[in-house]
Structures are given as structure tokens and as C-alpha cells.
Amino acid sequence: MKRKVHSAEVKQAVMGKLAARGVTVEDIAYIVHEMQSPYDTNLTIDSCINSVNAVLGKREMQHALLVGIELDMLAEQGMLSEPLQSIIESDESLFGCDETLALGSVLGYGSIGVTTFGHLDKHKVGIIKKLDTKIGKGVHTFLDDLVASIAASASSRIAHHTRDIEEREAEADDTEETAS
């Protein structure tokens, strides 16, 4: 019989893999803060952490992370067949499947997610830069893009929530004015 996987097990595996690969929720929240604080000067690192956790709670994101990190780790151990082994191990610039996988998980967060992902892919903020650096040990061909994807999604989430709050406040003001 096929084994049924519980969502709590998937979430736990994702968090374990991220930690094992040296990425913390705070690292990603820092990128989110860097991206969104120009638009919201009151933005706290705690709300960025909350947003990152919410994104990490999404099944599509969890699955993308499990696939990408697994391929990075297998490449690191030389376990893939050629030519994929060499392509992933060398982070071949025309490979593109790392970006495609990561971009797929951003799409649920609207166009701000997509444009922020493009920005992060180009400018490599915070831990993304550390992961992207080809010097040093470890293969992070997929993980750098996936971290950008989590940060972009969490940023977009904050942008939309901020607008929702502003609209609710404006509506409340209107109601107050009409009432007085």
C-alpha cells in the first residue's frame, strides 16, 4: 500500500532541510524587510518573520523546497546521473529549471511577487548572495532561487496586507465622517 504523507510531516521536513542547509527564517525575513521597508517605514522584522512563516506553510512552496533541496544535496554527493550531475553541480547558467521551479511557487502571490523575485534573482540580497557564491563547499543551485521565491512571496503578501489595512482604515474614516 502506498504511504500517505501527513502535511505536518512535510512542514517538519522542510524546516529541517532549510536548517540543515544553513538558512533560517530570520535570514529570509531580513530580505523581506529590505524589500518592503521603503514602502512601509513602520514595518517590523517580526511581521516579516510572520509573513515568511505563512509562506512556508503553503503546500506548493513546501513541495518546491523539498524537490530543489533534494536535487542540490544529491548533486553535492555526486548521486545524480550525467549530464544532470555536472549541470547542477556547476550551477550551469543556462539550466533555468531552478528559476522555473522557484518562480512557480511565487505565482500565487500576484505580480509584486514576480517582480520582486526578478529583482532578487538579479541583485542577490542577504543570504541569497551567500548561497549563490560558487566559491566554497556545497551545491545551492536550487536553494538560492527558492529562498528568493519565499522572500518575494512574503514581500508581496505584506504589500497586499498593508493595502488592505489602509483601505479598511479609509473606509472606517468615511463611515465616521458620514456618521458625524
Sites of contact with Mg ion (CB under 5 A) = 98, 141, 144-145
Least distance in Å: CB of 21 to Mg ion?
13
Least distance in Å: CB of 73 to Mg ion?
14
Give whichever of 119 and 161 is closer to Mg ion, judged by the CB atom.
119
| Residue 55 cell numbers, joined | 509562506
DSSP string, 108-172: GG-HHHHHHHHHHHHH--THHHHHH--SSS---TTHHHHHHHHHHHHHHHHHHHHHHHHHHHHHH
The residue of the chain with the least Cβ separation from Mg ion equals 98
Give whichever of 34 and 91 is closer to Mg ion, judged by the CB atom.
91
Least distance in Å: CB of 159 to Mg ion?
25
Cα dihedral 123→95→144→66 (10° resolution):
150
Q: How far apart are CA 10 and CA 15, in angstroms?
A: 9
Q: Which amino acid is at 132?
A: D
Residue 33 burial (10 A CB sphere; 0-12, 13-18, 19+): buried
Least distance in Å: CB of 86 to Mg ion?
15
Give whichever of 55 and 99 is closer to Mg ion, judged by the CB atom.
99
Least distance in Å: CB of 36 to Mg ion?
23
Cα dihedral 159→162→163→165 (10° resolution):
160
Give whichever of 27 and 144 is closer to Mg ion, judged by the CB atom.
144
Give whichever of 68 and 113 is closer to Mg ion, judged by the CB atom.
68
